[in-house]
Structure 1
């Protein structure tokens, strides 16, 4: 928490930064990003890998993305591929637990944006921001067993498997485990120096 000019505690998540990497730029997501992000939400493979079952209409998406900048307990950033200037996905820190200095992380990309290191860099950028600027101690996530590509990205960024939520997802008649992973601030700072 930080204090505003009246001495009132405000969450650090209120500030929506722009984070600049070599391959990607992370910037606050806006209502104007709906068209670029809609393919991510409609793609069958993305929906399967993330367990996403929603089917929001354009009005719902515009309301959702239009309100992200007002959220004080989460951070939603668009992932922009610097080489093309195209929005290729989103990264989110959510489920903020101020008492325990922790939150959840999730990431999703539009079809055909994989395999170029964009997800790895975007993950490292937002995790680094969480530890260095937001004062988080722990960032966690869940990844489904049928998404080994995502798990490799998380491991490259320093996430460690903590356990398995057995049969956590029922997807088209198949029960799928979810692996719980996390990264702690001391580990991040130790590994970022090497």
Structure 2
């Protein structure tokens, strides 16, 4: 079932109320399609991601090609990892934009300090945008964890709840994870000084990226 509406739920919604269609479903599970655009103040993509983080009980596993976090998402990732939620990020091992990747690296240490695990996909670039949580929620779409996707672009995604394919998404995540290298404090220290300096400079203009 696909719906073209979205609201930020404080608690799990009563899906049976949607158009009275739930009783006609052949299998358990719901798919809610949503769109986002830069011409209103309702940042739907960010709300969806924050909803998944806020409602996680066991884990949140994320794949994103770009990592340029605002204060809200940065604090959310740190807070939920500190709560004991298994919080993992998969990023490209070979970036398409070195300067933007240098910016992403400026978040690594503070995320590691809070218990967020970061992995680099060693075969190359990943372009998937995936959130999956607790084997019951997932988002697949076009929304990166960067300012352009969250604030400046037209984007779309599908929020899945209780659908059978969510376990397949998590299985794919684990398969991807097996091809990744974990980011550690030691690997951060090995980065060249000019790369770190470039990342810090890019941080100053992050909202434009």
Q: TM-score, normalised by structure 1?
A: 0.29
Structure ranking higher on relative contact order (CA contacts 8 Å, 6+ apart)? 2
Larger-Rg structure: 2
Give the strand-richer structure, 1 or 2.
1
